């Protein structure tokens, strides 16, 4: 019986290598001259290459800026304490429940070890720790508001180990920033705020006091810009992946030139520890807030006097607009700059002083970034026409956050899933049409319409009866609209809702 010859492992390896080489040549990767005919489309463009390497070391930058970073220790009188819950995240109790578990403030308590955490109310004494940094040679220090909020005594520890008393010059809860001033006179090492916003992918260095371990340095990159994490009306955070933990609150994030690009203020974590999702207040915001805190001890923001909401595709279609740019005005407050300038519900604000407004959040930030009394020209759309309004901004009131029954009812004849009644007849106010029942599977319920809401107008026309609502819906359908626009009042305020129209039948 003839023996079957089997290739040795070395022979098989050589054979496979030869096959691989042939395949590469045939694919045009190693020998383009052997390929006949035109090259495939993907081979006609050279691959993207970037001649840019990361720094060999951060040491030179750290040596220069680290002396300006301090630890902040706060004593809080008349507080009750609790074990570990929320990880000493300061204002965390004021966050919505869905954010309390996700976004963790990291002020830290009792050395940042998660022991006895300070809490408002009750009696006793607590402590919290965070970070900060000098911004002037005479001892002004920037930190987070939630680090020093409700403090009876504030001390800082410098990089060379000195402990100094400090006074709170001013606080701004809306931006979560605070300005301190050390009591001792002298000349202190300080750093400056960056004039330019970093790009996504830029290297950054964070220095702070995580878990009470002062002078800790971590590095990473800018992961994203303009993040809205639901912490406040002016959210515009930098997202970084430098490891940040409790006690880093108020500490600086530097670029490679040693400039502060952000103030670390929050992390996203299911456990309270770093998972590479940290958020910093941009330097431009810090600059604007700190200037006012130093001068006035508080921050005054511009005020229009409108309630606004984001544009959606359905809303834009209902208003006869192309695109989703701008901020939709759903109501104006009496005797405010907006009302005096003639702005109305249904207007879409598109520009501020000639600069485009992308959405409602951007409008809020733009107006809040201007001082009261500033002259502003707004561009807006009404009935598809471009208009302008000139006004002087007011002062944002302290309470502002830059932002029913039974009875005879009629079913809507146009299948939106609503049962309606005149608002006055069911004790829901003097104007509009009350929603007394909602089909949970209907188009209206899908857009958040609830029992007790009051429809104020449909398609830009005020309504006072279910028949008015039906006529408005029919007019929208006859006009070729894909959705009908309603202005609805609820317990949360007044808003516009665009409800998709079902097919006629």
Which positions are annotated as active-site residues? 146, 176, 249
Q: How far apart are CA 359 and CA 477, in angstroms?
A: 27
Angle at 502 between CA 500 and CA 503, to 5 degrees: 135
Nearest to 208 by CA among 182, 257, 246, 163: 246
Contact between 193 and 281 (Cβ < 8 Å): no
Q: Report CA dihedral (494, 495, 496, 502) to the nearest 10 degrees.
A: -100
Q: How far apart are CA 245 and CA 267, in angstroms?
A: 7
Q: How far is CA 401 from CA 96, 225, 307, 351, in A?
A: 15, 23, 10, 21
Tokens of 102: 């996700």
Exposed e or buried b per residue across 427-436, where buried means at least 16 C-beta atoms within 10 angstroms of its C-beta: ebeeebbbbb
Exposed e or buried b per residue across 7-43, where buried means at least 16 C-beta atoms within 10 angstroms of its C-beta: eeeeeeeeeeeeeeeeeeeeeeeeeeeeeeeeeeeee
Which residue is listed with tokens 């410098």? 158
Q: How far apart are CA 313 and CA 321, in angstroms?
A: 9
Which residue is listed with tokens 């100094």? 164
Q: What secondary structure letter does DSSP report for 55?
A: -
Element (H, E) at 368: helix 360-368
In sequence order, the 6+-apart residues with CB closer than 8 A to the CB of 125 are 75, 76, 77, 78, 79
In sequence order, the 6+-apart residues with CB closer than 8 A to the CB of 38 are none
Q: How far apart are CA 431 and CA 19, in angstroms?
A: 81
User: Which alpha helices (DSSP H) does 254-359 contain, by range?
Assistant: 283-296, 313-318, 337-340
Tokens of 398: 């302290």
Phi, psi of 15 (to 5 degrees): -65, -45
């Amino acid at each position: 019986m003839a023996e079957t010859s089997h290739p040795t492992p070395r022979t098989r390896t050589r054979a496979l290598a030869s096959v691989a080489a042939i395949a590469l040549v045939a694919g045009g990767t190693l020998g383009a001259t052997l390929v006949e005919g035109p090259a495939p489309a993907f081979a006609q463009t050279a691959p993207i290459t970037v001649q840019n390497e990361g720094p060999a070391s951060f040491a030179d930058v750290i040596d220069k800026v680290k002396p300006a970073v301090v630890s902040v220790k706060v004593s809080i009188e008349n507080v009750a304490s609790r074990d570990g819950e929320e990880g000493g995240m300061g204002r965390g109790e004021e966050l919505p429940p869905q954010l309390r578990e996700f976004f963790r403030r990291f002020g830290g308590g009792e050395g940042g070890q998660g022991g006895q955490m300070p809490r408002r109310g009750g009696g006793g004494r607590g402590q919290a720790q965070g970070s900060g940094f000098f911004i002037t040679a005479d001892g002004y220090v920037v930190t987070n508001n939630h680090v020093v909020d409700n403090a009876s005594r504030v001390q800082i520890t410098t990089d060379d180990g000195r402990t100094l008393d400090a006074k709170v010059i001013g606080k701004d809860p809306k931006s979560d920033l605070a300005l301190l001033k050390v009591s001792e006179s002298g000349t202190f090492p300080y750093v400056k705020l960056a004039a330019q916003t970093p790009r996504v992918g830029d290297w950054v260095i964070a220095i702070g006091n995580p878990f009470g371990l002062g002078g800790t340095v971590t590095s990473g990159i800018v992961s994203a810009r303009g993040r809205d994490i639901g912490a406040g009306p002016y959210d515009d955070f930098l997202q970084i992946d430098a490891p940040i933990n409790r006690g880093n609150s108020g500490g600086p994030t530097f670029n490679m030139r040693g400039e502060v690009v952000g103030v670390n203020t929050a992390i996203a974590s299911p456990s309270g520890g770093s998972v590479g999702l940290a958020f910093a207040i941009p330097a431009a915001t810090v600059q604007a807030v700190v200037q006012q805190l130093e001068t006035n001890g508080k921050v005054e923001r511009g005020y229009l006097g409108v309630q606004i909401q984001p544009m959606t595709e359905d809303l834009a279609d209902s208003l006869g607009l192309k695109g989703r740019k701008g901020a939709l005005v759903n109501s104006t407050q009496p005797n405010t700059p907006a009302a005096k300038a003639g702005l109305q519900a249904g207007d879409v604000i598109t520009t501020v002083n000639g600069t485009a407004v992308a959405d409602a959040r951007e409008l809020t930030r733009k107006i809040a970034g201007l001082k009261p009394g500033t002259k502003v020209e707004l561009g807006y759309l009404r009935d598809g026409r471009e208009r302008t309004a000139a006004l002087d901004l007011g002062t944002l009131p302290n309470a502002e956050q830059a932002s029913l029954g039974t009875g005879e009812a009629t079913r809507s004849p146009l299948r939106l899933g609503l049962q309606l009644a005149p608002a006055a007849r069911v004790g829901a106010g003097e104007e509009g049409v009350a929603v007394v029942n909602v089909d949970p599977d209907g188009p209206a319920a899908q857009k958040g319409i609830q029992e007790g809401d009051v429809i104020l107008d449909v398609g830009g026309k005020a309504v006072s009866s279910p028949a008015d609502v039906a006529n408005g819906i029919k007019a929208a359908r006859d006009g070729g609209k894909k959705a009908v626009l309603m202005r609805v009042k609820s317990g949360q305020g007044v808003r516009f809702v665009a409800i998709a129209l079902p097919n006629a039948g």
